[in-house]
Structure 1
Amino acid sequence: MPATLTRIILNRHHRRACNDLAYRPGLHKTMMRLLPHPDGPHPRKAGGLLFRLDPGLDPVLLVQTADTPHLAGLPDGYGDITTRDLTPILTGLTPHLPVRYRITAAPVVSRSADAVPHPVTGRLRGKLTPLTGPDAIAWWQRRAPAAGLHLTSLPAATPCPFPSPRPGPYERLTQFDGTATISEPALLDTAIREGIGRGKAYGAGLLTLTPG
């Protein structure tokens, strides 16, 4: 299966880009315009859309899609855009290969003490609580092996500001950076293509690798 990574250096003087930086649901809608065929009940998932905002003096958006992105769907002047085929990276995943990784994720836990019955099934549903600090790091240390990574350094965890006065549990994002070796290439391939964790519509879940 193909996959493409698009890098967008946002134009801070572009009205839509500025609005998207200030409002994540709007950013999600703009990114959906990159899908050439947004069909079905779950078009984001079907199109393999994942994105991440790397903040800085010139904010950078990384956008992953299953197919070649529909760049004409973006407003003129939105940013400086480049794309690359991820096939060489995905086919080059081999056991014990050292890598550096980055992922912005939405670490959450279901607190069973606050559980309430589902109105239809009767199953107990805990309250989703965002994790921060050491708890967030522990969350990633648990998730990484299931994604085919053996962590070789303590992850650096950086809270990501979210432009919302009352962000929900999926909107409290943390950026994790560190080193690892590949333990299970098939699991890692799936994690890269499908993303990790919740909050993918808010810019969470996209895992990127560089040779370590």
Structure 2
Amino acid sequence: MPTATLTRIHLNRRHRAARTDLADAVSLHKTLMRLVPDHLGPHPRARAHLLHRLETGPDPFLLVQTTYLPDLTALPPGYGTAHSHDLTPMLRALRPGLPVRYRITAAPTASRIADAVPHPTTGRRRGKTISLQGEAALAWWQRRATAAGLEVTTSWAAPRPFPRSSQDRPAVHHTLTQFDGTALITDPHALTTAVLNGIGKGKPYGAGLLSLAPA
């Protein structure tokens, strides 16, 4: 099992870089990529299993998960205070039937084949990706949770704001939804894979990190 580390970063809202990252998903992604080693190949975020979630409020903080020990000295000086702990004991304790509480901010999507345009060469239709909200988003989470080794017992959803990129950066478009609730573990191996790899799209921009706690 890869060693997974969860880091909590309490942001200093008076720090210029922290304020920028709170408002710009691409800038935040670049800051967090400093925490993992260089030269990880063409897909460094996926190789490092870097996932994060921004918890908003009067005292906002970041949850950052990696399978490399994060280099916290790479954060800008004064950016915030950070503490890390090893997730391995939690992952090893997962058992079938164990009740857990979960939280995930995700980007629920579906492919709409009816709107697809045939490829000019192959003729294949690739569906248009659409964002899901409301009951459709809850149904999406139910399917993803089942595949991830969870039997959902309670679930509620709330829209989450997506920090848009600055105009001089590539546009990133996701609709985020936070899912909270309780579940029973059905497949610890599938659940461990989901925790390490994340769920759904938008992982570089604050989606996909699944958090678990005893129910």
User: How would you bin the TM-score normalised by the shorter chain?
Assistant: over 0.9
CA distance in 1, matches of 2:104, 2:15: 27
Q: Tell me which amino acid in the other structure corresponds to 1:179.
A: T
The alignment-based identity, stated in percent, is 60
**Partner in structure 1 of residue 91 of structure 2:** 90
CA distance in 2, matches of 1:203, 1:133: 20
Moved over 4 A (4+): 165-169
User: Is residue 30 from structure 1 mapped to residue 40 from structure 2 by the alignment?
Assistant: no
User: Is residue 110 from structure 1 mapped to residue 115 from structure 2 by the alignment?
Assistant: no
CA distance in 2, matches of 1:10, 1:188: 30
What's the CA shift string for 1:33-71, capped at 9, x where partnerless? 110245101000001100011111111100000011011
TM-score (norm 1): 0.95
CA distance in 1, matches of 2:3, 2:121: 39
**Partner in structure 2 of residue 206 of structure 1:** 209
CA distance in 2, matches of 1:134, 1:8: 33
CA distance in 2, matches of 1:191, 1:38: 25
Once the two structures are TM-superposed, the CA of residue 73 in structure 1 deviates from its matched residue by 1.1
Report matched runs for 1:71-82 at 5 Å. Answer: 71-82=72-83
When residues 76 and 12 of structure 1 are mapped into structure 2, their CA distance, relative to the original with a 3 A threshold, is: same
Task: Please say which of residues 110-119 and 4-13 is displaced more in the overlay.
Answer: 110-119
What's the CA shift string for 1:3-24, capped at 9, x where partnerless? 1000011111010000001100
What's the CA shift string for 1:109-130, capped at 9, x where partnerless? 1111110123554321111110
When residues 45 and 121 of structure 1 are mapped into structure 2, their CA distance, relative to the original with a 3 A threshold, is: farther
When residues 14 and 162 of structure 1 are mapped into structure 2, their CA distance, relative to the original with a 3 A threshold, is: same
**Partner in structure 1 of residue 161 of structure 2:** 161
**Partner in structure 1 of residue 198 of structure 2:** 195
When residues 49 and 59 of structure 1 are mapped into structure 2, their CA distance, relative to the original with a 3 A threshold, is: same
Q: Tell me which amino acid in the other structure corresponds to 2:134.
A: G
Once the two structures are TM-superposed, the CA of residue 72 in structure 1 deviates from its matched residue by 1.2
What's the CA shift string for 1:80-136, capped at 9, x where partnerless? 211000000111111100000000000011111110123554321111110011111
TM-score (norm 2): 0.93
1:104–1:206 CA contact under 8 A, matched in 2? yes
1:38–1:44 CA contact under 8 A, matched in 2? no
SS at match of 1:113: helix
Once the two structures are TM-superposed, the CA of residue 162 in structure 1 deviates from its matched residue by 1.6
CA distance in 1, matches of 2:58, 2:29: 21
